[in-house]
């Protein structure tokens, strides 16, 4: 389940009843135990606040339209990439959405979250990829270099005949999306970075040179990678920024309804 992001189990031993005639050290021991439990509770609350645990939003914004068929397969060639794909149910939009993923996830995340189904309902073709070494994609030697990662992504889009791509790139997938973005491929029609990694590898001048329409998304409680990436991504000349309130690093999981609304608004207004 999408909500099962972090399970924390604690086994607390049963305390012996206090002996009113016993030494006071027993009472002191119990008092320290209670303090320890209180401290543990406060620590968990702090983790939730800073977004490390970031509880998913309790929402019905999970889509399972039986009319939407999620296709799956491998791209051809010697370096296959596993993908999931949906076709538009209604009149197709010109842009096509390519969804990458973070370190703890894969293409199945976007099906579980309902993003693929929702995009299909709204008339978009959408493709979610398993990056090399994740999900159903085997590790690939080319993924060890920046140029290799950009080439892998370019080849996957070509093999899948994706035109006018809008690239959604959370977290780890910045290793692939940013080299691809910097090369200015003609099929990249939009960019949606969600606190991506690797922004520090590029100069302010390199970001300035990118004209791709960009929606910068991040969670309010992501105080580390979101801030670091935002510092660099703000140099993109054609961008807007949206902060999802009460969401952590994987803000699309914590606030799926808000994420979907913002993403659809961005897609619907692309030229």
* Bridge partners, 57 (sequence order): none
> What is the C-alpha separation between 151 and 162, in angstroms, rounded?
15
Q: Three-class SS of residue 166?
A: strand
pLDDT given at position 39: 53
Is the Cβ–Cβ distance between 127 and 96 less than 8 Å?
yes
Closest CA to 103 of 139, 73, 143, 131: 131
Q: Which residue has the tokens 């972090």?
A: 6
Catalytic: which of 101, 173, 222, 229? 222
125-129/239-244 β-pairing:
unpaired
CA distances from 26 to 11, 19, 154 (A): 21, 8, 68
> What is the C-alpha separation between 8 and 40, in angstroms, rounded?
12
The architecture of the domain spanning 71-268 is 3-Layer(aba) Sandwich (3.40)
Closest CA to 150 of 180, 127, 192, 126: 180
130 part of the active site: no
Catalytic: which of 120, 137, 169, 171? 171
Domain ranges of the chain: 19-50, 71-268
Catalytic: which of 101, 249, 254, 260? 249
pLDDT given at position 200: 96
Is the Cβ–Cβ distance between 265 and 239 less than 8 Å?
no
Q: What is the pLDDT of residues 75-89, one digit of tens each?
A: 998 899 999 999 999
> What is the C-alpha separation between 97 and 101, in angstroms, rounded?
13
pLDDT given at position 64: 53
pLDDT given at position 186: 73
Closest CA to 193 of 230, 162, 160, 165: 230
Residue 179 CB contacts under 8 Å (≥ 6 apart), including other chains: 146, 147, 149, 150, 198
pLDDT given at position 1: 37
249 part of the active site: yes
Regions of the chain short of the pLDDT cut 50: 1-30, 33-38, 40, 42-63
> What is the C-alpha separation between 75 and 62, in angstroms, rounded?
28
Closest CA to 195 of 97, 102, 99: 102
> What is the C-alpha separation between 111 and 203, in angstroms, rounded?
35
> What is the C-alpha separation between 50 and 177, in angstroms, rounded?
27
Backbone angles phi, psi at 239, to 5 degrees: -135, 160
Is the Cβ–Cβ distance between 194 and 251 less than 8 Å?
yes
Residue 23 CB contacts under 8 Å (≥ 6 apart), including other chains: none
Q: DSSP class of residue 138?
A: P
171 part of the active site: yes
């Amino acid at each position: 389940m999408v909500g099962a992001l972090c399970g924390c189990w604690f086994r607390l031993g049963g305390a012996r009843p206090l002996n009113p005639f016993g030494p006071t050290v027993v009472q002191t021991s119990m008092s320290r135990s209670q303090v320890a439990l209180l401290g543990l509770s406060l620590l968990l609350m702090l983790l939730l606040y800073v977004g490390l645990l970031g509880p998913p939003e309790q929402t019905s914004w999970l889509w399972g339209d039986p009319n939407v068929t999620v296709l799956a397969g491998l791209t051809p060639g010697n370096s296959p990439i596993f993908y999931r794909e949906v076709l538009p149910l209604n009149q197709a939009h010109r842009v096509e959405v390519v969804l990458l993923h973070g370190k703890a996830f894969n293409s199945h995340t976007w099906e579980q979250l309902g993003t693929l189904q929702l995009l299909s309902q709204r008339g978009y073709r959408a493709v979610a990829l398993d990056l090399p070494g994740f999900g159903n994609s085997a590790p690939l030697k080319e993924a060890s270099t920046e140029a290799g990662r950009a080439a892998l992504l370019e080849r996957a889009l070509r093999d899948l005949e994706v035109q006018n791509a809008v690239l959604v790139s959370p977290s780890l997938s910045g290793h692939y999306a940013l080299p691809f973005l910097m090369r200015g491929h003609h099929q990249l029609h939009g960019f949606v970075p969600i606190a991506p990694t690797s922004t520090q590898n590029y100069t302010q001048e390199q970001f300035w040179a990118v004209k791709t329409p960009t929606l910068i998304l991040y969670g309010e409680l992501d105080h580390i990678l979101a801030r670091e990436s935002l510092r660099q991504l703000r140099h993109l000349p054609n961008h807007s920024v949206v902060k999802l309130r009460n969401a952590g690093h994987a803000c699309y999981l914590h606030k799926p309804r808000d994420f979907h609304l913002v993403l659809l608004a961005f897609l619907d207004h692309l030229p």
